[in-house]
Each structure stands twice: as C-alpha cells, then as structure tokens.
Amino acid sequence: MVRSARGEARIQFSFASRGVLLAAGLALGPPGASAAPDPARAGALALAAEGRCEAALPGLRGLEAGEDVAVLSARAVCENAVGRADAALEAVLAARAAGGTDPDLDLQEGIARFQLGDAEGADRALARAEAGGAHPPERWLYQGLVALSLRRAETASAAFDAARRLDRDHVEPVASYYLGLAHTELGQADAARRALERVRDEWPGTPWAAEAERALAAAEPTGSGPWFWMELGGEYDDNAVLRGSDVRLPEEIPGQRDTRLSYRLQTGAPLWQEGPWTLGALAQLDGSVHDDLPEFDVTQPSVAVWLDRTLSPDTLARLELRSRYAWVESEPFQLAHSISLALHQRWSEHHVSTLSAGFSRRDDRFGDEDIPDGPGVVGARCLRPGDLVCGPPGVDESRARNRDGNGLWIGAAHRVDLHPSLALFGGYRFRRFSARGAEYSFAAHEWEAGVQLLLPASFDLELTGRYTRRDYRHPTTFPEPDEVFAGVQYGLRSTDRRERDLRTQLVLGRPLGRRFRVEARVSRERVRSTAGVFDYRRHQVGGYLIVALGSLGADS
C-alpha cells in the first residue's frame, strides 16, 4: 500500500528542564519550614535546575513533598524528561492541589497528557499554559505535535516554525522533522522536502535522519512513472534439497549443501488514476543458480494487476490478481494463480492493521510414479523379482500425490510503533488447501511475530518468527525411510499426517544513499512431521545488494 510520510514517524519526545522553571523554587522552603535549609532538598532541586534529571529524581522522590510546590514541580519536569508521563501528571496534580498556579505546571501537564495519548487533554493544558504566559520552545513544539495529531496541520506548521525561531538548538531536529510532516499534510511538497532534507543532512546517523529518509521516500509521487527494483544475493544453504530425516539421497545428487546466486527483478507502474481509484501492474522475475546442484535451479516470472480504492485518508482497500510460472532446471514445474483482497487501516500514528483474504489455484507440471503393489503383507517379498521396492496393494501413488488444487486463506496483521527506533508486528492466517490427491490436502494455522530496530550508524535490524501447524486430511503415502528394504513390501502409517513448522529470520541492513541498500540474512527452518520424508532442518545465510529506481507504487 502507499503509506503517508506522517504514518512512518513514530516519535516520543520529552524535555529536561533548562533551569528556567525551577530557579525561583530553589530559594523557597516548604510551608512551615524552619530557617535552617534542607540540604537534601536543595541538592535535588539544584540537580533538577541543571537539567540532570536522572541524578535528581532519586532525591526528589525520596523527599516528603507534602505541599512543597517547588519539589512537586521539579518532579513533574524530571518525570517527563525520563519518559514517565504518568508520574509527571501525578506530580502536576499534586502541585496544583498544594496551591501551585505557575503556567509551567500546565505545560508539564500538556506534555504528560500528550505522551499518554490524550491529545484533547494536552491541547487544553497547553492552551492554559499559553494564556498564563509560558512561552518556552517546549510549549510551541508540543502544541505543534498535538495539533498534528488532531489533524490541524496548518496550526502545527506555525507552532514548529515558532519553536525553531525561539530556540533552534534546543528543539532540533524534532521541530524540522515534524514540520516536514505538517507540510506534507498540507500538500506543500517542496517545503516538506526542504524540512526533511535538513534533518537528514544536518543530523546524519541519528534515528531522526533515518525517519526523515523514510518520510522522503514515502512522499515521492507514486503515479508519475514506473519503478524498477533489483535484489542480488549470494546464499549458503545446508539443506538445499529439503532432505528429510534418514532419507538417502539418490546417487546422482552429490549432497544436500550448496551455495547459489539468487536474484529478484521487479518493474511496474500505476496505469490509471481517477479520484480515489488507482490501477497498476507489475512484472517480476525470481530465480536462483546453484553451484553444485544445477537440477535445483529455479526461474520464476510472475505478473500482477492491482486496483486500489482509498476509502479515507487512513483506509485503503486493494484487489490484486497474480499469476506465476516456475521452471526447475529449465523444465516446467508449476503454474499458479491467486486473487486477494486486503484492507489496510491506520488507527493512529502508532498502529496499523491489515485484513486479507484470498483464493489460489495451483497446477503442477510434474507427477509421481505409481509404486508397484506388493503381496499385501509388510515385509513379504515383492510380487515381481525386479521390483526394487513395493507398497501396499490398492494404493495409486501417482494419483494420491497429485498436488494440483485450490486454496483459501484469511488473515489479520497488526503493527505497533513503540518508539522511533522500535516497532513490533504480528499476525495470524488460516489456510486451507484442497488437492486432487489425498496426500496434500490440509488445513493450517499460521502465527507470525517480529520486531524491527533502528540501530546506530543507520543500521536496522529485523527479527521474525513464524509458527505453522498443518493438519493433513489423510495418512501419508510415503513410508518411513528406515522401514524401507530392497525387494520387500513396506508399510504405511494409519494416522493422518501432521506437521509443525517453525521458521525464524534475522535481517541486518543499511541504506547506502537513497537508492541502494545492503542486507545480511540468517534463517532457520525446523519442520517436525509425522512423515519422516517431510521432517527436516534447514539453515541459510546470505548477503544481498538491493537497488531501487523510480517511485515504488506497490508493495510486492
């Protein structure tokens, strides 16, 4: 889907005091105090006035504040500074109950309520702070953040500009970043680009620069022309043949490990746009070239057509048709088609959900041979002396192992951004596949969870885990590998086949400018199956170069 630049920013921000709010409070003693000063109180307030909130908070929390407005005000500032908005709000309310009337308490209340997700309450508190004469840059910045969250982009833009003029060093790069998002909301593309490029160029290597880069990429026009995307990788695979437990490889296959070159090429463009509708198409080519196992080389072109309908600024529906054809070692392997419908909903700056459903059809261009029937007794000699092995009579393996069929799926996914540098995502999908042969019909439940992290020096990290439970509708027609002996009939299990599939992947990446990216990936697969031929382990390691040209208009 096409994502707004605003949706890519996930920012929490709080200020430490610069001493302005607490300077007067340092000279005050609590009501009813003796003339002798309290050294602990004075020391904690002094640390807070210097902006050293981590050091000041243990002392401030240990004081019996009672009706000491100065201590409670200092706690409010410092609790906000360390991100404890709930404690800051509690201190603000206590200070006000003790008689505190300083408009800076309203400012701290506004900051705390914004961090707690109460934009309306924050707006009212910041308005009181402004009316009372509190004019530090923090107030302007948070008024801008609140206005942006309430979809008042013009007000937000003016507030961010005011914060930058008042104290640029103290509010940057936050003010410029959100100023860029406000200009984007207003459709002022040039002004938005200038603000975001300022963040990217003047604060390189920071999470703000990385977010600005993402916002710049997302703000590029999606309907102006085609795009081209390429990925080239080198991979090592310790089980390229998906060898099952105790399965003996054929003599013509030298081993299960191999290295390969993988590639993916994609090009596409929006073809037509009218109001909320967008029609687009793409073509993609995936493939791999192995070093020692050329019989596993894959070439797979695919084409897709999608139709988008923007239902609201935060809701997009997509209908997609896709077809692909695969060759293995230049031999036809599989033809597949699918149709899917997805609904993408952005609930807030921090939460995005996707609902999807689809139908697929699969047509394999290869088949399995029928195994000669045995006499009907496990361990008895095959009926024909020349048969290497034989199976139970009456089982037509070529028919039972026909993989052609139709599939249905429905699923939901959600992403939550907890911090500019931290996001969590997860989802569930139910899948059912009905094959012509009894061997491959199943129902499956898939769960996925992951985390994304922005790291120093513009690196990013993604860790994903997926667990799938597949319940097949029939027993397998494959014998256990350790129960097959030359010249005699093997037996089959009578219980339905079951599989438990766990896959994990770690991706470490870094952009190289606007158009290039490098990634290192490590993945592990562990499939536990009641049928030994489908029970396997697999580890893969790879390095990749990614090149993106044009304006990406669709998620591939």
Q: Which domains does the chain have, with CATH numbers?
A: 6-219 (1.25.40.10), 311-550 (2.40.128)
**Is there a contact between 380 and 387 (Cβ–Cβ < 8 Å)?**
no
Measured from the Cβ of residue 361, the count of other Cβ atoms closer than 10 Å reads 14
Q: In whole angstroms, give the CA distance from residue 92 to residue 106.
A: 8
According to DSSP, residue 22 is labeled: T
Among 77-81, 204-208, 225-229, 482-486, top mean pLDDT goes to 482-486
pLDDT of residue 261: 97
**Is there a contact between 265 and 282 (Cβ–Cβ < 8 Å)?**
no
Name residue 103's amino acid. Answer: P
Q: Is the pLDDT of residue 21 over 70?
A: no
**Prediction pTM value:** 0.63
Q: Which two tokens stand for residue 532?
A: 């030994």
Cα distances (Å, whole numbers) of residue 167 to 114, 162, 449: 21, 9, 42
| More confidently predicted of 10 and 511 | 511
Q: Which two tokens stand for residue 374?
A: 């045995």
Query: For residue range 291-337, what is the model confidence (pLDDT) as tens digits?
Result: 999 999 999 999 999 999 989 878 999 999 999 999 998 899 999 99
Q: Which H or E run contains 90?
A: helix 85-97
Q: Any bridge partners for residue 500, and if so which?
A: 469, 528
Report the helix count and the strand count for the chain, using DSSP H and E.
13, 14
**Is there a contact between 362 and 404 (Cβ–Cβ < 8 Å)?**
yes
**Is there a contact between 298 and 262 (Cβ–Cβ < 8 Å)?**
no
Measured from the Cβ of residue 90, the count of other Cβ atoms closer than 10 Å reads 16
Q: Which H or E run contains 113?
A: helix 103-115
Q: Which two tokens stand for residue 341?
A: 């419908």
According to DSSP, residue 457 is labeled: G
Taking 3-state DSSP, the helix, strand and coil percentages for the chain, each rounded to the nearest 5, stand at 30, 35, 35
Rounded to the nearest 10 degrees, how much is the dihedral formed by the CA atoms of 49, 54, 59, 60?
A: 60
Q: Which H or E run contains 251?
A: none
Query: For residue range 390-426, what is the model confidence (pLDDT) as tens digits?
Result: 999 999 999 999 999 999 999 999 999 887 789 999 9
pLDDT of residue 430: 98
Name residue 116's amino acid. Answer: L
